[in-house]
Amino acid sequence: MKHLFEPVKMHHMELKNRLIRSATWEGTANPDGSITEEAYDIYEELAKGGVGAIITGFTSVALHDDYFGGMMRLCDNALIPQYKKLTDIIHAENCPAITQLALGAYYREEKGRYRQVEPDDMTPDEIRFVIRQFIDAAVRAEKAGFDGVQIHAAHFFFLSRFISPAVNHRTDKYGGSIEKRAHILLEILDGIRKATPQLHITIKINCSDFTYYGLTEEECLSTCSLLDQAGIDSIEVSGNGTSVSGIRAHVNEGYFVSAAADIARTVSCPVIVVGGFRSQDVMEDVLNKTKIELISLSRPLLREPDLPDKMKADSSVISKCVSCNACYSSHAHKCVFRRDKA
């Protein structure tokens, strides 16, 4: 019998419970990726709220990744002290810290300007350069005190598009079959493992792209099996077009559970599932009726960063998140219903 609020051991990490804060983009960083005091406050509040581990928001591996604003970055050694301050804040609350290493898009320099280039048009050298960026960022993450890194291959950002047959039509070793499209992920994983053997390495992946000719659940399962065989430490299952509206406790929670359960039956590493959880009994039901090991939360923790502590004190507590998605248009993606959102 698995319980939500019991300690759990993962490769190179120990968590006080099975709840993980899923990476959530705050958009508060400076253009160079340096961290603002507002971001430190956000993570301190989350760490104090009782979650078992925190995956920090979208952290780009590149300086000239301008896919959207306010991204944290681990593209420069000069930023390491700022991220060390962040991990110290999180660790002070007995909470492991994982950084989500990501790339919104690849930008090619042309005459001093940067132009977005899709996977089909990248040269092999450019692909190898991106792989190196992920590995170098992981090395910086380790120096900054992070316990792990998450390879962001979901939500149609760069790596998600690269492994999607809707986008990748290459005919070399990086395109064609799912094994070839996933080759970039395996090279990133192998490079990070060799450079930082003590880090927990996880990945966030779409169970489906939910689009014509996109990554299917069957292809996702094949990709996860390849990653598992290559030694990935855990897999977080999400999907394209996240943050479904109208989620209600005990009605339509856990919209990626079915796909995540299939993956958990297939791989040997722990599987984490995100997507519309609002109540402890539903989360524990998922944990005990499947081989899924951990649950991750995003929007509920925007409204109530201390939701884990509330649920631990009273198992009948239900998240106050109403799935309105207004947080996406608010400053720092804070819940519009919080009185202290300013």
pLDDT tens for each residue of 139-164: 999 999 999 999 999 999 999 999 99
Confidence of residue 25 (pLDDT cuts 50, 70, 90): confident
Confidence of residue 175 (pLDDT cuts 50, 70, 90): very high
Arithmetic mean of pLDDT, 183-188: 98
Average pLDDT, the chain: 96
pLDDT tens sequence across 283-300 = 999 999 999 999 999 999
pLDDT tens sequence across 240-273 = 976 889 899 999 999 999 999 999 999 999 999 9
Higher per-residue pLDDT: 97 or 337: 97
Is the pLDDT assigned to residue 176 strictly greater than 70?
A: yes
Distance CA 318, CA 295 (A): 15
Distance CA 38, CA 26 (A): 10
The C-alpha angle 9, 13, 16, rounded to 5 degrees, equals: 60
* pTM: predicted TM-score of the whole model, two decimal places: 0.97
Specify the pLDDT at position 2: 97
Specify the pLDDT at position 146: 98
CATH number of 8-333: 3.20.20.70
Specify the pLDDT at position 340: 57
Going by C-alpha positions, the residue among 12, 24, 20, 17 that lies closest to residue 242 is: 24
Q: In whole angstroms, how far apart are CA 27 and each of 38, 138, 288, 331?
A: 10, 21, 36, 8
Is the pLDDT assigned to residue 342 strictly greater than 50?
A: no
Specify the pLDDT at position 333: 86
User: Alpha helix (H) ranges present in 163-306?
Assistant: 178-181, 183-195, 217-229, 257-266, 280-289, 299-303
Is the pLDDT assigned to residue 338 strictly greater than 90?
A: no
Is the pLDDT assigned to residue 341 strictly greater than 80?
A: no
Distance CA 146, CA 140 (A): 9
Please name the residue that has the structure tokens 């559970």: 257
pLDDT tens sequence across 62-106 = 999 999 999 999 999 999 999 999 999 999 999 999 999 999 999
